[in-house]
């Protein structure tokens, strides 16, 4: 169970459709901070070694909105205190994201005029156009780039009949995040039960939520006990954008563990920030005892892991409702006890997402499926598999030259079986038959999707045979879209030498089949 950096954290979006869900994490490099420094307004914090870039991006036919410097200064300093409060709370010290100040002692905001009119920077797709222009702008203005994290604020380009602003990008994309500005966006309205008060929560809270994405955060939800705790309430990276400034809103321990490694929370410079790492899970054990999911993981990693976030993510609802725990590793192991009384939902399918956090700010996610049955979790997360060293491929209907079916048997998640896609693109069903070399007693099969989950295999039928002539159907299954090992059970012990898999679909709704490992238990 492996490997590599999951670069597609579904951080992303807040209010609207899911086209941009790709908060793609692009690899970063080393960053040399600019020599100038002015932290005089932030003496309450341990000074950061890197600062957030704050850009006010104005379309060619637009303008800044009155008093934006004062209003955004107040919003960002308040947000900085909010983040610091929770870093302190979880024991990470008096730290927050760094902000550069200008000569007037206010948060430095770079105003950049766009090349295009408002109609070119729409919510859908506009973010990428802005990022392209700002990458060019930063290359020409290196002294204005203080880190790899950038908050882009754009004046609203449309207003609803009731005055509600909108129209511009509003989401996180990797270490970029987008928020909007409108004339009454001011902290002074926060907490007022008025149209402008509620609007301030929505858009200032929204800015803080999107900024969270831009600082590396992913969605998560408060535990049941946290929701009931008047000091905590709603997780900012859940639906806290609707409660910020109005009712208790907080950062989860899992969010703080991520921020602890974020570049702009660093108090000293470092090299190798955001270089990718690989983690392999060598042993995983999960059980349900005494009302708790008890998880034990032994891993090896190419980077230094200082925390491991474990998210329990119910099917549906994207990842907004994933309830997280944090485990500090002891050597190369973690152990966690997660009371299901803290879960909001005790039915249906879940994904267990194990996120290894590296001190350099990068991370790797390895995920496993589990299911609630009769309000209790069933955790078939590990099985003793048969040794595959003498196995072979008896038949394959399609394989690409760099994705031969034999890769299913090499215990290496990095190598995959991939049906043809280059010169020809045959459609499902695809068939592969594995010869176990001798008749074996098996209860089910083991599968592992390719690590990056690109086009994961979904619906399959399974058959077994002792002679490769007469096949017995063993059922239709839907594989989970997770990159850890997963198992299917025949519900009985079966004698078989040949295993036949017939594919019906993949998660990309595309013609091909791809799979990393196939085994039996
Ligand atoms: Zn979000």
247's CB contacts (< 8 A; 6+ apart) are 233, 234
Task: Find where tokens 């908050």 sit.
Answer: 151
Nearest C-alpha neighbor of 9 from the set 25, 27, 30, 26: 25
Nearest C-alpha neighbor of 366 from the set 272, 449, 294, 489: 449
Same domain, 89 and 204: yes
Same domain, 188 and 96: yes
Span 407-423, mean pLDDT? 96
**Ligand 1 mean position to 3 CA, how many Å?**
26
**Ligand 1 mean position to 365 CA, how many Å?**
18
* Residue 316: predicted pLDDT: 86
* Residue 44: predicted pLDDT: 57
Same domain, 135 and 240: yes
Q: Is 386 within a domain?
A: no
**Ligand 1 mean position to 153 CA, how many Å?**
16
Q: Is 26 within a domain?
A: no
Q: Assess contact for 3 and 413: CB atoms under 8 A.
A: yes
Which of 378, 408, 429 delimits the end of a domain? 378
State which H helix or E strand residue 464 sits in: strand 459-465
Min mean pLDDT across 43-47, 236-240, 356-360, 479-483 is at 43-47
Q: Assess contact for 383 and 521: CB atoms under 8 A.
A: yes
In tens, the pLDDT along 189-222 reads 999 999 999 999 999 999 999 999 999 999 999 9
What are the tokens at 216? 């590396």
Same domain, 201 and 179: yes
Give the integer Cα–Cα distance in Å for 172 and 153: 12
Same domain, 224 and 307: no
Q: Is 9 within a domain?
A: no
In tens, the pLDDT along 6-20 reads 333 333 333 333 333
In tens, the pLDDT along 98-108 reads 999 998 889 99
**Ligand 1 mean position to 273 CA, how many Å?**
24
Taking each continuous run of H as one helix and of E as one strand, the counts in the chain are 5, 27
Give the integer Cα–Cα distance in Å for 245 and 193: 11
Region at 18 (left for phi over 0; alpha for psi -120 to 50; beta for the rest): alpha
In tens, the pLDDT along 471-490 reads 999 999 999 999 999 999 99
What are the tokens at 517? 């490992």
**Ligand 1 mean position to 172 CA, how many Å?**
7
**Ligand 1 mean position to 138 CA, how many Å?**
25
Q: Assess contact for 213 and 255: CB atoms under 8 A.
A: no
Pairing of strands 53-58, 150-155: parallel
Which of 210, 232, 265 delimits the end of a domain? 265
Give the integer Cα–Cα distance in Å for 344 and 325: 14
**Ligand 1 mean position to 350 CA, how many Å?**
20
**Ligand 1 mean position to 31 CA, how many Å?**
26
Give the integer Cα–Cα distance in Å for 289 and 291: 6
**Ligand 1 mean position to 314 CA, how many Å?**
17
**Ligand 1 mean position to 240 CA, how many Å?**
10
Span 388-407, mean pLDDT? 97
Same domain, 445 and 349: no
- DSSP assignment, residue 87? H
**Ligand 1 mean position to 290 CA, how many Å?**
34
Q: Assess contact for 469 and 500: CB atoms under 8 A.
A: no
Q: Is 62 within a domain?
A: yes
Read off the CATH number of the domain in which 310 is found: 2.60.40.3760
Angle at 80 between CA 75 and CA 84, to 5 degrees: 150
**Ligand 1 mean position to 246 CA, how many Å?**
19
Q: Is 34 within a domain?
A: no
**Ligand 1 mean position to 209 CA, how many Å?**
6
**Tally of CB atoms within 10 A around 80:** 22
**Ligand 1 mean position to 255 CA, how many Å?**
13
Q: What is the DSSP string of 348-409?
A: EEEEEEEEEEETTS-EEEEEEEEEEETTEEE------PPP-TT-EEEEES--BTTB-GGGGG
Residue 139 banded pLDDT, cuts 50, 70, 90: very high
Span 441-445, mean pLDDT? 98
**Ligand 1 mean position to 158 CA, how many Å?**
21
Same domain, 177 and 320: no
**Ligand 1 mean position to 176 CA, how many Å?**
12
Nearest C-alpha neighbor of 107 from the set 62, 68, 160: 68
**Ligand 1 mean position to 368 CA, how many Å?**
23
Same domain, 228 and 296: no
Residue 47 banded pLDDT, cuts 50, 70, 90: confident
Reading across the β-sheet that carries 333-339, which strands appear in turn? 279-289, 292-301, 333-339
**Ligand 1 mean position to 93 CA, how many Å?**
26
Distance set, CA 170 to CA 175, 235, 346 (Å): 14, 19, 32
Task: Find where tokens 């703080």 sit.
Answer: 256
**Ligand 1 mean position to 9 CA, how many Å?**
11
Same domain, 351 and 284: yes
Give the integer Cα–Cα distance in Å for 471 and 476: 14
Same domain, 145 and 192: yes
Give the integer Cα–Cα distance in Å for 258 and 305: 11
Give the integer Cα–Cα distance in Å for 455 and 59: 37
Structural Rg of the chain based on CA atoms:
25
Q: Assess contact for 92 and 260: CB atoms under 8 A.
A: yes
Q: Is 287 within a domain?
A: yes
**Ligand 1 mean position to 213 CA, how many Å?**
7
**Ligand 1 mean position to 215 CA, how many Å?**
12
In tens, the pLDDT along 233-285 reads 999 999 999 999 999 999 999 999 999 999 999 999 999 999 999 999 999 99
Which of 318, 348, 378 delimits the end of a domain? 378
Residue 45 banded pLDDT, cuts 50, 70, 90: low
3-state secondary structure of 438: strand
Mutual orientation of helices 195-214 and 68-89 as an angle, nearest 10°?
60
Read off the CATH number of the domain in which 431 is found: 2.60.120.260
Half-sphere exposure of 343 (CA within 13 A, CB side): 22
Range of the domain at 354: 279-378
Nearest C-alpha neighbor of 497 from the set 427, 438, 423: 438
Q: Is 144 within a domain?
A: yes
- DSSP assignment, residue 101? B
Q: Where are the beta strands (DSSP E) in 129-246?
A: 150-155, 158-159, 165-166, 172-173, 176-181, 234-235
Same domain, 353 and 502: no
Domains identified in the chain, total number: 3
**Ligand 1 mean position to 405 CA, how many Å?**
39
**Ligand 1 mean position to 13 CA, how many Å?**
4
Nearest C-alpha neighbor of 48 from the set 262, 306, 362: 262
**Ligand 1 mean position to 76 CA, how many Å?**
18
Read off the CATH number of the domain in which 214 is found: 3.40.390
Q: Is 203 within a domain?
A: yes
**Residue 158: strand pairing partners:** 166
Same domain, 353 and 412: no
**Ligand 1 mean position to 22 CA, how many Å?**
11
**Ligand 1 mean position to 150 CA, how many Å?**
16
**Ligand 1 mean position to 319 CA, how many Å?**
9
């Amino acid at each position: 169970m492996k490997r590599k950096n999951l670069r597609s954290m579904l951080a992303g979006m807040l209010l609207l459709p899911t086209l941009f869900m790709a908060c793609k994490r692009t690899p970063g490099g080393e960053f040399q901070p600019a020599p100038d420094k002015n932290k005089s307004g932030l003496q309450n914090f341990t000074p950061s070694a890197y600062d957030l870039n704050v850009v006010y991006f104005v379309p060619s036919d637009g303008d800044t909105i009155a008093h934006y410097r004062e209003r955004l200064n107040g919003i960002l300093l308040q947000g900085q205190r909010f983040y610091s409060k929770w870093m302190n709370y979880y024991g990470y010290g008096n730290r927050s994201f760094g902000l550069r100040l200008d000569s007037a002692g206010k948060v430095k905001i770079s105003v950049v005029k766009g090349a295009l009119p408002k109609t070119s920077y729409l919510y859908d797709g506009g973010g990428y156009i802005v990022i392209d222009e700002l990458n060019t702008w930063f290359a020409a203005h290196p002294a204005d780039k203080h880190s790899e994290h950038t908050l882009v604020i754009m004046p609203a380009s449309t207003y609803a009949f009731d005055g509600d602003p909108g129209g511009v990008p509003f989401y996180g994309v990797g270490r970029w995040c987008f928020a909007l500005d409108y004339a009454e966006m001011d902290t002074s309205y926060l907490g007022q039960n008025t149209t402008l008060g509620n609007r301030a929560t929505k858009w200032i809270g929204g800015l803080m939520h999107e900024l969270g994405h831009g600082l590396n955060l992913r969605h998560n939800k408060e535990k049941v006990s946290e929701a009931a705790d008047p000091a905590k309430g709603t997780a900012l990276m859940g639906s806290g954008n609707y409660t910020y400034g109005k009712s208790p809103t907080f950062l989860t321990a899992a969010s703080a563990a991520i921020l602890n490694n974020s570049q702009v929370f660093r108090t000293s410079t470092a090299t190798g920030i955001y270089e990718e790492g690989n983690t392999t899970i060598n042993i995983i054990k999960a059980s349900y005892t005494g009302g708790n999911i008890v998880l034990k993981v032994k891993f090896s990693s190419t980077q230094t892991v200082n925390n491991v976030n474990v998210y329990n993510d119910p099917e549906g609802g994207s990842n907004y409702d994933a309830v997280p725990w944090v485990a500090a590793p002891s050597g190369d192991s973690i152990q966690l006890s997660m009371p299901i009384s803290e879960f909001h939902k005790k039915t249906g399918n879940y994904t267990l997402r194990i996120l290894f956090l590296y001190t350099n700010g990068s991370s790797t996610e390895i995920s496993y499926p589990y299911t609630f049955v009769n309000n209790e979790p069933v955790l078939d997360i590990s099985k003793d598999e048969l040794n595959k060293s003498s196995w072979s491929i008896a038949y394959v209907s399609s394989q690409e030259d760099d994705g031969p079916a034999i890769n299913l048997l090499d215990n290496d998640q990095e190598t995959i079986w991939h049906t043809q896609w280059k010169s020809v693109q045959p459609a499902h069903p695809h068939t592969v038959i594995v010869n176990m070399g001798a008749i074996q007693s098996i209860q089910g099969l083991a599968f592992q999707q390719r690590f990056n989950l690109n086009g994961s295999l979904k619906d399959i039928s399974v058959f077994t045979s002792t002679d490769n002539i007469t096949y017995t159907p063993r059922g239709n299954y839907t594989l989970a879209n997770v990159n850890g090992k997963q198992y299917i059970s025949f519900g009985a012990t079966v004698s078989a030498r040949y295993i036949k898999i017939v594919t019906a679909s993949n998660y990309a709704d595309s013609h091909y089949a791809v799979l990393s490992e196939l085994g039996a238990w």
